[in-house]
């Protein structure tokens, strides 16, 4: 029997909140990592990082390339991705980028495996990972779109502070404890909701809201989908929520909608209101599935 292939995996941004989550998931999934190559900012180079009961030395991006990584997971921000992802790709290293830097590049596949894994056939060695709120939306809608074809989506999001990073989590916990500290947001987040994710654009929408529009169309391969998003940051940690209203081109029996949701890869229907069972971020934190509830005239992931 052939020995399973193992990989030299670079995690760019390994010391950050998302980078540390990537490392945890690699271990949970028992991904075949032969050599871990943690990459971080110059101030962290030379320090060690504990993973799988071993200390790994943090290196620079240049060193990671010289070490011959097979795969690079990027989560160090758009500017780092724009500078370094092409250099890794030129060295023959497959890049999975978690920033927004490459998502709308027509030559770079934007992939949610449950929806458009076929896009990985692209010759591009850079693969973009969509925005968090987009991912759960398209996972829930994919089979419905295939059968009924989506005409229009109206979505409101309730997004966790963890989507912003460690500084936002610290702000929330400081405010909850009555401690003054650095602010990730322009306003208080505890006991508050902020309809302000990323920056506001000239059209009045935030960049986060427009990301959902453009990315959904690209992933689902349909520029005809009309989408209106309102994105809001709420004081929870882990688990983004969305309320989704969908208009289809074809008639859709609600029983069939429910069947398709139950059949959708990556979707878990949690819909027993009489027993107080419905999706909540406190239950979805650290889970892979998209938890859905089918409403009286639709569903709410």
Cite the active site residues: 132, 240
Neighbours of 292 (CB within 10 A): 25
H/E run at residue 256: helix 254-263
Q: Are 267 and 292 in contact (CB under 8 A)?
A: yes
Q: Are 175 and 100 in contact (CB under 8 A)?
A: no
First to last CA, the chain: 43
Distance in angstroms (rounded) separating the CA atoms of residues 81 and 58: 18
In terms of Cβ atoms closer than 10 Å to its own Cβ (0-12, 13-18, 19+), residue 117 is exposed
What angle, rounded to 10 degrees, do the helices at 207-220 and 132-148 form?
40
Backbone angles phi, psi at 195, to 5 degrees: -80, 50
Q: Are 145 and 222 in contact (CB under 8 A)?
A: yes
Distance in angstroms (rounded) separating the CA atoms of residues 114 and 244: 19
Residue with tokens 């060193």: 63
> Which strand ranges, in their side-by-side order, compose the sheet holding 267-269?
226-233, 150-159, 241-248, 299-300, 290-294, 267-269
């Amino acid at each position: 029997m052939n020995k399973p292939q193992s990989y030299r995996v670079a995690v760019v941004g390994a010391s950050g909140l998302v980078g540390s989550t990537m490392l945890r998931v690699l271990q949970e999934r028992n991904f075949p990592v032969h050599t871990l190559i943690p990459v971080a900012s110059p101030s962290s180079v030379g320090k060690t990082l504990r993973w799988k009961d071993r200390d790994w030395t943090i290196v620079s991006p240049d060193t990671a390339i010289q070490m011959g990584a097979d795969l690079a997971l990027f989560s160090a921000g758009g500017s780092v991705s724009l500078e370094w992802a092409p250099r890794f790709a030129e060295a023959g290293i497959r890049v999975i980028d978690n920033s927004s830097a490459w998502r709308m590049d027509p030559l770079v596949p934007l992939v949610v495996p449950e929806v458009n894994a076929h896009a990985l056939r692209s010759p591009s060695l850079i693969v973009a990972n969509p925005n968090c709120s987009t991912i759960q939306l398209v996972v829930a809608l994919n089979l419905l779109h295939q059968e009924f074809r989506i005409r229009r989506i109206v979505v409101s999001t309730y997004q966790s502070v963890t989507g912003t990073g460690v500084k936002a989590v610290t702000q929330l916990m400081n405010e909850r404890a009555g401690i003054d500290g650095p602010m990730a947001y322009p306003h208080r987040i505890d006991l508050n909701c902020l309809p302000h994710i990323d920056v506001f654009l000239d059209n009045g929408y935030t960049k986060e809201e427009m990301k959902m529009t453009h990315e959904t169309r690209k992933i689902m391969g349909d520029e005809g989908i009309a989408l209106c998003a309102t994105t809001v940051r709420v004081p929870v940690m882990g688990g983004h929520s969305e309320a989704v209203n969908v208009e289809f081109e074809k008639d859709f029996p609600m029983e069939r909608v429910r069947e398709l949701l139950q059949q959708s890869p990556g979707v878990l229907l949690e819909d027993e209101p009489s027993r107080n069972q419905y999706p909540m971020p406190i239950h979805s934190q650290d889970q892979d599935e998209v938890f859905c509830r089918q409403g009286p005239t639709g569903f709410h992931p």
